[in-house]
Structure 1
Amino acid sequence: MDRAAVAALGLSDPASAPTHRARMFWARVRAEETLSGPAADALTARALHLDPAVAVDDALREGARALLTQGFAAGRNMADPDVAGAYAAEAHGALAAPALFTSLGAAIGLGRHWHDGSALLPRLDSFRVADTTVAAPWTGQDAEGKDRPVPYAVRASVDLEDSGHVQVTVGTVSYRMPAAEFAELLAADTTLRHSDPSTPVLLVLDGLSGPDAAVARNVSRRLGRPVWWSTSPVELTAPDAADGELPVLAPNLFALTEPTANDWQLTRPAVPDLGGPAMPGAPTGPEPGAPTPATNSVQATNGQATNGVPGTPATPGVPATPATPGVPATPAAPDAEAAPPRSSAGDPMDGLEPTPVPAAATPAAPVAARALPPLPSRTLVAYERDATSPSASGAQAVGRIAAQVAAAGPVSYTHL
């Protein structure tokens, strides 16, 4: 548990791990709850990036349980498969790997190098296409006359089978990530998070083709930043020693097309539509002198026909209301066929139309609360002599307690 606390919380001093045991315990409870559902094996496969042909066994479930425990302790929502998959790469050092340093004129930029090989301070002020060096579209000045920030370059590869997936290489391990999972990994990058909000992300993705547009959309939406990307593969090479290393657009082998300078695309985060249907204003009365339809009766003009329809005779002593122009009046039903109108209680009420009474709703039966399994008031946890961390058997005892608490029912985690 203490080793997990060091890994999950990034503790610089392992001696402080015992102070985080409560946090790790409740993270283990959340992991137990998450892996007790019907989709536990599917989440295990996503979290561990298993091949679809691999059958999930108890050893893999235990590995997923440990990973989810660390992720929950680190504040991640590990019940989300995209978050869990991204955290697996993060736990393997994806965000601790050496950053990618770039240059744009005299300015130095940062990025991520999730690719085999190395990059030697590539230039981002221009790019190469068809043996021609072209000024990059993200350079220049903004509307206020200020120099645009250096993009945050992210080097990785487009998946060979599906351009909607990205291959992220960390050391000797490669992770095949859907677009949403790739966006979650970038969202956990504190270096990118602490950069200026106007800093765009520059996707430098090589492969047999450019990425699907969904990759840029997911990244832009998740980060709230503009994203530059190319419909053609992008490599970092030095085709000319005088130019140095810079982005180079390569042919799209899937579409069998040659790259052009117009292949660069800019995807901006979608602006949420906060407008809804207009709220109706307060009802207003008729304008002075405007005709008012008679309530619960036909419109009439002293018994005269309106638009060819016989009107209803006016009540003696009460001036009739003129008919609304252009609206034909409804002829009154014969008195012999008219049903006597009634009140909401069913009593006859002369002069009013019947109003239906809605049937009373049957109250829903209360849901019986689930009986909680009994929890031990005390449990012994084994320690080795002179040790400050639980022994192997003690760690197993803590795991059993966490499983019991998870099975007992929902728990508030406000203290995590």
Structure 2
Amino acid sequence: MAPDPDEDVPDWYQQVATRPIVSALTGRQIGRASHHAAEWATAFEDDDRHLDRMPTYVHYYPATGRISAEHELPRPGAESAAYRLDAHGSPGRLHLAMRDGTVRPVDEREAGPWLRRRKSLSTLPKDHWIDFVVCWSGVPGDRTVPVPPNTASDAYAGPFVPDPLSSLSLGQQLANSTGRGVRLSYGSQGTRSHDGRYTRTLFADAQGRHRAWALFRPDPEGPDLDRLAAVAGLSPGGGEVSDEMRAGTLRLVRALRLTFGHDVDDAPDFAELLRGVAAVDHMWRGDTDFDAAGPFTLDLLNRVVAAHPEAASGVDRAAVRRVLAAAADHWAAWPGDDLVGFVEVPAIEAAAQWMRGGDLEEEAVTALDLSGPHEMGEPERSRMFWARVKAEEILSAPGTNLDTRVPKVLHLPPGTRPNGYRGTLLDLLTRAFAAGRDATDPDVAAAYDLDESGVYATTGVRTTGGDGSGDGRDYTAERTPATVDLARFGTPSGMTDTPWADRKGPAPYLVRVTPDGNAPDVLELTFDGETYRVPIGEFLELLAHDTSLTGKELDVPVVLAFSAHDGDPGDLAERIAQRLGRTVWWTGFPADLSPPGAPGKPFLTLRTTPDGAEPDANAWQKARPAQATAPGDAPRPIQAPLARPAARPGPHPDDDDDDVSEAAARPAPTEHGTRGRDE
């Protein structure tokens, strides 16, 4: 698989460790893998040799260790015509094993040229396609702020992709580099064997929601792309086609594929669809109000379609076709007309007015963690603009009650009138969307407000327990020690070991918090001298976006300790377990920290309750995440194509079955994953 030694390529090309995948069924090579020898022998070789006998997959639920029923894998051709490429991966990166024992993460810019030179790929028969056995192979790099510390953890929620029309995934780069169809995943994937049967696995998220497979095909290039540029009206036809025209045409083609599916190019009306989406692009670029808002985006197309009368009954494939036909007719009748002459988009117009006011750069520096306005380019401006559009849509949506939304999200006293705070809330929501938060949820938006206020900056605490160390959060008003010993706890009768004291690996994640004595569903969080009353839903989102917790594997439990005998710690523990996909240890007894002068590191001490109940060695209880009987779908980093109008035979990447079979009643056998490694 290595390039010829005399090729003019980077030195690292010669140092990649790869090995053939040889079918146990036919004895023929069916692909190539990049894993170090020991890992290959123990975790990958046997299953990889059966990749050509795995037409099905199961969903694997890492929070519960269960599996679903089997489903047919999507495929762009016969399974026997697939070439398998197996390596570790993470969003936007391929993790290649090197001969010196290290791992080299390469992004799509490096991976594409390296893959293009693989002789085992370039010499494949024309009808062969590529099975990309690499985690997160269908999504570009994560643009969340701050960047998650560990994308290989099962707790990782997935990447934020602000502009999928410009950011290429590894799978798309592989398709472009080889000119072949590719099967890939929007999450971690692996293989599984049980009783001689081999299947693929697709990892659900921490909440048990299903992730998806996808099929990609190469982007058009060369004369094909130039022809499409002429069809779209982006080039004069018959004349020279500039790089800018080609890039603009590619954006339109990708938008259609993400709306209708990867095979829309084969649709009889593809040329009409392309002319329609190009008409929207012409109207967008011709409107001087949007000069600084960036290029045509999927956000723009979705909003134009939803706002047009042809989609009044709902957005589906037929409605999009009608809107694009209307756009083409409008542009033909009134060439040069502005976007607002075709459709009413008040949120987009409001965002443009905000952008002209000069606040965008200041907000971007904060939201995107830039060193200054000089780092602002077109991608950043576009990202901020569409974040503002989303914020405007929330506050102008029918039924939005600013009297409750403003004080909740901004943590103002109850009853605060929203007058004068709407602009503040708009700015906060804009920054939250730009950073990658789903601020349509008021709890998520409110948690982001606390994040900006410094809730994570001053509440951290180190922990020890068992044979490892860890960390946690102390949201109480008490003075927090540098380290808390979680291997033991105190009671009125003396010291005893915690029930998790003998666990291996990192110490549990401590969460100390004070319940509100007057409201059972409210907690009091104190930091930087201020106390905030936080509903439980918001607190769950605060934990779910805490990078010091989300970077840990799901087998690291949470230890929940209330500082007062109020509220319902058991209920909160159950809700934390379900939201985070983690085991939560909790107690119904109020917990303090050991007083100064006690031997050793500070530890938790449990107090007698006001009604006289006294804690003993069995004071701690455990809440575990429950397996959903009908799991939903996890949010996709890149939008799923609209549903097809009717069922048709054969598997399709957008089809899924939420059935959790009897296999879900038992733990899954060991999974052989291809999850990436953070180097």
Q: For this structure pair, what is the TM-score category when the shorter chain's length is used for normalisation?
A: 0.5 to 0.7
Q: Could you say which residue in structure 1 is the equivalent of 2:487?
A: 125
Q: 1:239 to 1:189 in 2, by over 3 A?
A: same
Match of 2:616 among 260, 265, 277: 260
Q: Match for residue 51 of structure 1?
A: 413
Amino acid at match of 2:365: V
| Matches for 1:292-331 after TM superposition, within 5 Å | none
Q: Distance in 1 between matches of 2:430 and 2:560?
A: 31
Q: Deviation per CA, 1:48-100: give whole Å up to 9, x if none.
A: 1232232221x222211111111111121212121122111111112233521
**Aligned match of 2:393:** 33
Say if 2:589 is the partner of 1:229: no
Amino acid at match of 1:81: P
Gaps of 5+ in 1: 142-146, 276-416
Amino acid at match of 2:604: P
- 1:79 is matched with 440
Is 1:113 the counterpart of 2:474? The answer is: yes
Letter paired with 1:140: D
Of stretches 47-56 and 124-133 in structure 1, the one that deviates more from structure 2 is: 47-56
Instruction: List aligned pairs for 1:352-367, cutoff 5 A.
Output: none
Whether 1:241 and 2:603 are equivalent positions in the alignment is: no
Residue in 2 aligned with 1:68? 429
SS of the aligned residue for 2:520 comes to: coil
Evaluate the alpha carbon distance shift between residue 108 and residue 184 of structure 1 in structure 2; reply closer, same or farther with a 3 A threshold: same
Higher relative CO (CA 8 A, sep ≥ 6), structure 1 or 2? 2
**Secondary structure at the counterpart of residue 35 of structure 1:** helix
What does the per-residue CA deviation read over 1:105-163, in whole Å, with 9 as the maximum and x for residues that have no partner? Answer: 5522111232332223111101001141011011214xxxxx25410112221112123
Aligned-partner Cα distance in 2 for 1:66–1:179:
24
SS in structure 2 at match of 1:138: coil
Equivalent residue for 1:177?
534
Cα deviation, residue 22, structure 1 = 1.6
Identity of aligned residues (%): 36
1:7 aligns with 2:366: yes
> Is the contact between residue 515 and residue 522 of structure 2 (CA under 8 Å) also seen in structure 1?
yes
In the alignment, structure 1 residue 16 sits paired with structure 2 residue 336: no
Per the alignment, do residues 218 and 17 of structure 1 end up closer, same or farther by CA in structure 2, a change over 3 Å counting? farther
Which structure has greater helix proportion? 2
Which amino acid in structure 1 is aligned with residue 425 of structure 2?
A
Q: CA deviation at 1:193?
A: 0.9
| Alignment CA distance shift 1:274-1:25 (3 Å) | closer
Structure 1 residue ranges, 4+ long, deviating more than 4 angstroms after superposition: none
Structure 1 residues 251, 171: closer, same or farther in 2, change over 3 A?
Answer: same
* TM-score calculated relative to the size of structure 1: 0.60
- AA aligned to 2:410 is L
Instruction: Provide closer, same or farther for how the CA distance between residues 252 and 12 of structure 1 changes in structure 2, counting only shifts above 3 A.
Output: farther
Cα gap change, 1:54 to 1:210, in 2 (>3 Å): closer
**Structure showing greater Rg:** 1
Q: Which residue of 2 aligns with 1:134?
A: 496
Structure 1 pair 177–15 and aligned structure 2 pair: CA distance change class (3 A): same
Q: Secondary structure at the match of 1:260?
A: coil
Provide the residue aligned with 2:10 in structure 1. Answer: none
- Mapped partners of 2:451, 2:548: distance in 1: 13
TM-score of the two chains, using structure 2 as the length reference:
0.38
Q: CA offsets per residue over residues 332-379 of structure 1, 9 Å max, x none?
A: xxxxxxxxxxxxxxxxxxxxxxxxxxxxxxxxxxxxxxxxxxxxxxxx
Residues 9 and 251 of structure 1: is their aligned pair in 2 closer, same or farther, counting only changes over 3 Å?
farther
- Which residue in the other structure is 1:102 paired with? 463
Task: Tell me: CA distance 1:10–1:103, structure 2 relative to 1, closer, same or farther (3 Å).
Answer: same
Contact 1:140 1:148 in 2 (8 A): no
What letter is aligned with 2:416?
Answer: V
Provide the residue aligned with 2:253 in structure 1: none
TM-superposed deviation, 1:239:
6.6
Q: How many aligned residue pairs are there? A: 268
Deviation at 1:18, TM superposition (A): 4.5
Give the AA of the match of 1:168: L
Give the Cα separation in 1 of the matches to 2:630 and 2:427.
41
TM-superposed deviation, 1:231: 0.8
Counterpart residue type for residue 382 of structure 2: A
* Residues in 2 aligned to 1:259 and 1:219: alpha-carbon distance in whole angstroms: 23
CA contact (8 A) 1:138 1:148 kept: no
- Please state how far the C-alpha of 1:11 moved relative to its aligned partner: 2.7
Compared with structure 1, are the counterparts of its residues 120 and 14 closer, same or farther at alpha carbon in structure 2 (3 Å cutoff)? same
Q: Post-superposition shift, 1:12?
A: 4.3
**SS state at 1:229 partner:** strand
SS in 2 for 1:94: coil
Are the counterparts in 2 of residues 34 and 40 from structure 1 also a CA contact under 8 Å? no
Q: 1:213 offset after TM fit, Å? A: 2.4
- Post-superposition offset of 1:10: 2.4
Question: CA offset at residue 256 of structure 1?
Answer: 5.1
Look up the equivalent residue of 1:132 and give its one-letter code: G
> How far apart, in 1, do the equivalents of 2:396 and 2:616 lie?
52
Q: Matches of 2:489 and 2:591 in 1, distance apart? A: 10
